[in-house]
A and B are shown apart, each in its own frame.
Chain A
Amino acid sequence: MGKKTLSKKLMAILLTLISIAIIVIAFVGIYMQQLNKLKNIVPDATYSSEIDGAIEYRLSVDNTEEEAEVYVDDEGNIRGEVANGNSTSSEDWENNTGFTIESQIIRQNSDDVLNAENYEKTKGIIEKRLDSMGATDYSIRLDDNTGYMVVELSENDDINYLYETAVCTTGKIEVIDYQTGVVLIDDSHIVSASVYPYSQDGITYTIYLNIEFDEEGAQILNDISTEYIAYTNDNGESVTDYVSITMDGSSIYTTYFGEEYTDSAISVPLGSNISDEDTLNAYIESAQSIATIINLEELPVIYTQDNTGYLIQSNIDDIALLVLKVVLIVLLILITIIFTIKYKLKGFLAGIFNAAFIGLLILILKVLGIVISISSIISIGLLIFINVLFIKKYLENLKNETEKSYLQTLKSFYSVIFPIIIVAFIYTMFSVNSSITGIGMTLFWGLLIEILFNTIISRYVLSNINKK
């Protein structure tokens, strides 16, 4: 046996051993001693809520009411809640707002909003918010008659952030007189909101929330910019009249105007002197969520939380996953046996390489933390099918001892599996939820590993067997 042939055979043996090692690592794991225990250092798979369960929040329509002092105009409309005691002047507070103050029972939800249409609208807005904020895996149940809602979020997402922002926030934005509480501009005049980071020196940043108003809102803004200023009152005191931008009654920014404001938008600083990248990104994300809420309009119905969020396990338990693993292993063994019967040694090795390819894919999915759903598992089945098809084609071409067996196989193979390649790319691009991303990423990585694995390992070993 020549030197070259010997080294090729040794290389083939090495590659086969590597494939066997990949199979063992993927299906058994690598166990190392950690704190007197043997621990598998191969990361666990990240599963979707279909498999791992979801956090469930139960919400019912808020029917509470409370007595509050409000400003009422001549037409009986409420123009804000009384907020005296916020003035910077020492003078006794007087109602100079032009509105009468009345004590009224304020219901969280008036009767006219409690209907199926508004419940559906509320659900739709929450869904859009969750999608905009990057929720990958959620479901919402809605009782159209009572408005009762059950929201399920995946543990793989930032649950607290999503729940507090997308579900719990009504999204009522107002510009109010900080001193009195009178609403100056309500959200009917808001056109849009956007976020931009600004830096003067290129080192520290301020995050601005830009709120754009319509023509009428811009006019009101112009008017209040001449009224809410710092001045000296009749007693010679320095007084500042502030305006406050509130969301759901809580102030997000309080300011006054130094000069007449003619712009139709107001820039609200939500974070300043930020130099750390992680902090900057966190602020941008937070500001973006406020902008999303403003852009998507407020929830028509206000809800109250019935529970603190329960983890509901799926009915696919560890035993079911183990059974699935066993079925996969049995399938790969069966494929190896069938190939061995038909193609002898080459068939046996092809079976090993097929199992190694799947093992490598599973390892990569685990290491990259790609969320595995039931659809991803079905995708793995599809990849086994096409790899078996490829190997069969290649072994047939090798049998016929054609010179360009591998290239012929590739050309013929890819002219046949192009629909799967298209689905892999399109689904990877549409990362709207974990199932879609799971299918796309599983197929994408599977196809990539397949071409590399078969080109580097399968081709080398199978074409060099029995060569003299």
Chain B
Amino acid sequence: METKKKILIAIIAIIIIAGCIVVGIKGFNVSLYLREHDTLQYTFEQKFNKDDIISIGNEVFGEKDFEVRTVEVFDDSVYIISETISEEEKQALLEKLSALYQESTDEETNTEQTAENVADTETNETINTDSETTSVVDELVEGTDYNVYHDSKIRLRDLLRPYILPTIISAIIIIVCMIIRYKILKSEKVIKNTLKVIGKSIILLLLLLSIVAILRIPVSTWILPGMMFFVLIYLVINFEMEIRRKDEKAD
């Protein structure tokens, strides 16, 4: 076997083994929304800017993964989703969310200050803002102004279940058609060629899944159709190469 081919096989084998280890230890990186998570729902009294919420999320959660989703038709409610939301994080979020449009309302009602009064005014404003913020958070009512939920995961198997039967049936029919195709093309080793293609398809699937696991690519509903399409592309390219080799031999 050529050296290049041996190196390629070795790399593929290492990636697949590493992928299996990663899956065994950590599993796939299922996307946050599908995983078990905490949700803070907050209702504004006006339309909000999603980017403002994302900024607040970055401040509170830091490096921790989180998502922001708009709720409702009038875009006045938001879901902030994270794997866990501690009590401190919840309080910090509520403070910042309640202050978010409160500050802009205060700015609109402020009158012009002279330069000498700015320092005093700022100090007073800070004290006033702090006390207003604290009192606003205290005034928030769980169940009305905000809600905190702990949501279970959506099982991947539930999402993938509709794909299983059509994929299996498609695979069986494709294999049968492959065998017929090799017979029509008068290939010498029909079963061997068919098994070779099936084997390479499976290795491709394992390789792709390993890459997804190692690189921690978020896994969602696209995983099964995505993998299937890669295999289909491989099959098409493989059959195309076989025809070219046959044509070249004939020439």
* Docked complex Cα distance between A391 and B228 (Å): 24
- From A315, A417, A420, A436, B162 is in contact (CB under 8 Å) with A436
B221 touches A141 (CB 8 A): no
**What residue in chain B is nearest A415 (Cβ atoms)?**
B181
CB distance from B26 to the nearest CB of A (A): 22
B72 touches A439 (CB 8 A): no
A310 touches B72 (CB 8 A): yes
A416 touches B232 (CB 8 A): no
Q: Does B27 contact A (CB under 8 A)?
A: no
Whether A310 touches B71, Cβ cut-off 8 Å, given contacts A426-B169, A430-B165, is yes
B173 touches A385 (CB 8 A): no
* Docked complex Cα distance between A426 and B176 (Å): 15
Contacts of A415 in B (CB 8 A): 181, 239, 243
B158 touches A139 (CB 8 A): yes
A150 touches B151 (CB 8 A): yes
CB distance from A324 to the nearest CB of B (A): 13
Whether A423 touches B162, Cβ cut-off 8 Å, given contacts A315-B33, A415-B239, is no
How does the 8 Å CB contact mask read for A398-423 relative to B, with 1 for contact and 0 for none? Answer: 00000000000000100111111011
Q: Does B199 contact A (CB under 8 A)?
A: no
A141 touches B151 (CB 8 A): yes
A313 touches B69 (CB 8 A): yes
How does the 8 Å CB contact mask read for A280-318 relative to B, with 1 for contact and 0 for none? Answer: 000000000000000000000000000000111111010
- From B73, B170, B226, B240, A423 is in contact (CB under 8 Å) with B170
Q: Does B194 contact A (CB under 8 A)?
A: no
A311 touches B229 (CB 8 A): no
- From A141, A148, A386, B236 is in contact (CB under 8 Å) with A386
Contacts of A125-151 to chain B: CB distance below 8 A: 127, 139-144, 148, 150
- From B68, B173, B222, B240, A375 is in contact (CB under 8 Å) with B222
Contacts of A385 in B (CB 8 A): 233, 236
- From A314, A374, A418, A435, B177 is in contact (CB under 8 Å) with A418
CB distance from A407 to the nearest CB of B (A): 15
Q: Does A105 contact B (CB under 8 A)?
A: no
B243 touches A412 (CB 8 A): yes
CB distance from B208 to the nearest CB of A (A): 13
Question: How many of chain B's residues touch chain A, expressed as a range?
Answer: 35 or more
Contacts of B57-89 to chain A: CB distance below 8 A: 67-73, 77, 79
* Docked complex Cα distance between A309 and B152 (Å): 18
Which of B71, B79, B181, B225 counts the most chain A CB atoms within 10 A? B225
Question: How many of chain A's residues touch chain B, expressed as a range?
Answer: 35 or more
Q: Does A14 contact B (CB under 8 A)?
A: no
A416 touches B174 (CB 8 A): no
CB distance from A265 to the nearest CB of B (A): 33
Whether A389 touches B72, Cβ cut-off 8 Å, given contacts A139-B158, A422-B170, is no
- From A144, A148, A312, A423, B228 is in contact (CB under 8 Å) with A423
- From A418, A420, A435, B225 is in contact (CB under 8 Å) with A435
* Docked complex Cα distance between A311 and B162 (Å): 24
Contacts of A412 in B (CB 8 A): 243
B152 touches A142 (CB 8 A): yes
**What residue in chain A is nearest B233 (Cβ atoms)?**
A385
Q: Does A58 contact B (CB under 8 A)?
A: yes
Contacts of B173 in A (CB 8 A): 422, 426
Contacts of B26-78 to chain A: CB distance below 8 A: 33, 50, 67-73, 77
Q: Does B183 contact A (CB under 8 A)?
A: no
- From A143, A310, A382, A416, B152 is in contact (CB under 8 Å) with A143
- From A142, A314, A423, B232 is in contact (CB under 8 Å) with A423
Contacts of B243 in A (CB 8 A): 412, 415-416
A139 touches B159 (CB 8 A): yes
CB distance from B119 to the nearest CB of A (A): 42
Q: Does A178 contact B (CB under 8 A)?
A: no
CB distance from B160 to the nearest CB of A (A): 10
How does the 8 Å CB contact mask read for B139-176 relative to A, with 1 for contact and 0 for none? Answer: 00000000001111110001100110110011001100
Contacts of A386 in B (CB 8 A): 236
Contacts of A433 in B (CB 8 A): 162
Q: Does B205 contact A (CB under 8 A)?
A: no
A417 touches B236 (CB 8 A): yes
Q: Does B23 contact A (CB under 8 A)?
A: no
Q: Does B12 contact A (CB under 8 A)?
A: no
- From B50, B71, B170, A427 is in contact (CB under 8 Å) with B170
* Docked complex Cα distance between A102 and B50 (Å): 58
CB distance from B179 to the nearest CB of A (A): 12
Whether A378 touches B232, Cβ cut-off 8 Å, given contacts A426-B170, A427-B166, is no
A140 touches B154 (CB 8 A): yes
- From A310, A389, A419, A435, B221 is in contact (CB under 8 Å) with A435
Whether A148 touches B165, Cβ cut-off 8 Å, given contacts A311-B73, A416-B243, A422-B174, is no
CB distance from B111 to the nearest CB of A (A): 38
Contacts of A421-454 to chain B: CB distance below 8 A: 422-423, 426-427, 429-430, 432-433, 435-436, 439
Q: Does A379 contact B (CB under 8 A)?
A: yes
- From B70, B77, B154, B226, A141 is in contact (CB under 8 Å) with B154
Q: Does B15 contact A (CB under 8 A)?
A: no
B232 touches A420 (CB 8 A): yes
Whether A419 touches B236, Cβ cut-off 8 Å, given contacts A58-B149, A435-B225, is yes
**What residue in chain B is nearest A439 (Cβ atoms)?**
B225
Q: Does A69 contact B (CB under 8 A)?
A: no
Q: Does B219 contact A (CB under 8 A)?
A: no
> Closest 10 CB pairs between A and B?
A375-B225, A430-B166, A416-B239, A313-B70, A143-B152, A141-B152, A426-B170, A419-B174, A432-B162, A433-B162
B-contacting residues of A (Cβ < 8 Å)?
50, 58, 127, 139-144, 148, 150, 310-315, 317, 373-375, 378-379, 381-382, 385-386, 389, 412, 415-420, 422-423, 426-427, 429-430, 432-433, 435-436, 439
- With A382-B233, A415-B243 given, name 14 new contacts (CB 8 A): A140-B154, A310-B77, A311-B73, A312-B71, A315-B69, A373-B221, A374-B221, A375-B222, A418-B174, A419-B232, A422-B177, A426-B173, A429-B166, A430-B165
Q: What are 27 A-B pairs with beta-carbon distances under 8 A? A: A139-B159, A140-B158, A141-B153, A141-B154, A144-B152, A150-B151, A310-B77, A311-B71, A313-B70, A314-B69, A373-B221, A374-B221, A378-B222, A379-B225, A379-B229, A416-B243, A422-B170, A422-B173, A423-B174, A423-B228, A426-B170, A427-B170, A430-B166, A432-B162, A435-B162, A435-B221, A436-B162
